[in-house]
Amino acid sequence: MTGTHDVGAGRDTRAWRVASRVLDPELPVVTIEDLGILRDVTEDDQGRVHVQVTPTYSGCPAMETIRTDLIDRLSEEGYLHVTVEFVLSPAWSTDQITAQGRARLEEYGVAPPPTEAERRQGPVGLTLSVRCPQCGSPDTRESSRFGSTACKSLWVCRHCREPFDHFKAL
């Protein structure tokens, strides 16, 4: 691991703007910036770019695709020497998903995680109801704590009867 940077210290660079448009491969309506997993992009005076991303979960299988996509997008924009580093600290939390990211998830049919204020205790202590992203009803139930990916759980709406994914608080 290289030295620690302030998170997003390179945010106003062109390389950041390119990197920030890379989509999450499993939720292709949100960018890695929306999810809050793009930690930093630095460009040195030789034009070499170093990108830091953090996984949502330790075993997230999307990380290798994200690495490849970052290298592809940046090289298309003329950055020929790109390194991507996975950093673990500080640990990612669903609180780092941006407001735009939350809105895009909901529009896509994935109920966004509870905000920090909505959570009463710890990551597992979610007791508030999850609003159905299809019809908006709060009358929903969890059908499985573990869904199609590590970061989601599976829910069913009692009102419109549709199943939906919920981005779990972490």
Partner 1 sequence: MTTPRITPRTTSAHVDYVLGLADDALVSAQRMGWWISRAPQLEEDLALANIGLDLLGQARSLLSHAGRLEGEGRDEDDLAYWRDERDFRNVKLVERPQDDFGVAMARLLVLSTWQSELYAALQRSSDPVLAAVAAKASKEVAYHHDHARQWVLRLGDGTDESHARMQAALDAEWPWVAELFDQSHLDPALVAEGVAVAPESLREPVLRRLGDVVREATLEVPEVAPRVPGGRAGLHTEHLGRLLAEMQHLTRSHPGATW
- Distance between CA 143 and CA 25 in Å, rounded? 25
Taking the complex as a whole, the smallest distance from the CB of residue 112 to partner 1 amounts, in Å, to 18
Report the residue from 45, 59, 117, 127 that binds partner 1 according to the rule CB under 8 A: 59
Site string for partner 1, 138-157 (x = CB under 8 A): -----xxxxxxxx---x---
Which residue lies nearer to partner 1 by CB, 80 or 88? 88
- Distance between CA 47 and CA 21 in Å, rounded? 19
Residue among 100, 38, 25, 112 nearest 69 (CA):
25
Name the residue type at position 66: I
Taking the complex as a whole, the smallest distance from the CB of residue 144 to partner 1 amounts, in Å, to 4
Contact 119, 127 (CB under 8 A): no
Tell me the β-bridge partners of 163.
156
Q: Report whether the peptide linkage leading into residue 90 is cis, meaning its omega lies within 30 degrees of zero.
A: yes
Taking the complex as a whole, the smallest distance from the CB of residue 100 to partner 1 amounts, in Å, to 24
Residue 108 burial (CB count, 10 A): 13
Site string for partner 1, 104-133 (x = CB under 8 A): ------------------xxx---------
Taking the complex as a whole, the smallest distance from the CB of residue 46 to partner 1 amounts, in Å, to 26
Binding site for partner 1 (CB under 8 A): 1, 55, 57-61, 88-93, 122-124, 143-150, 154, 168, 170
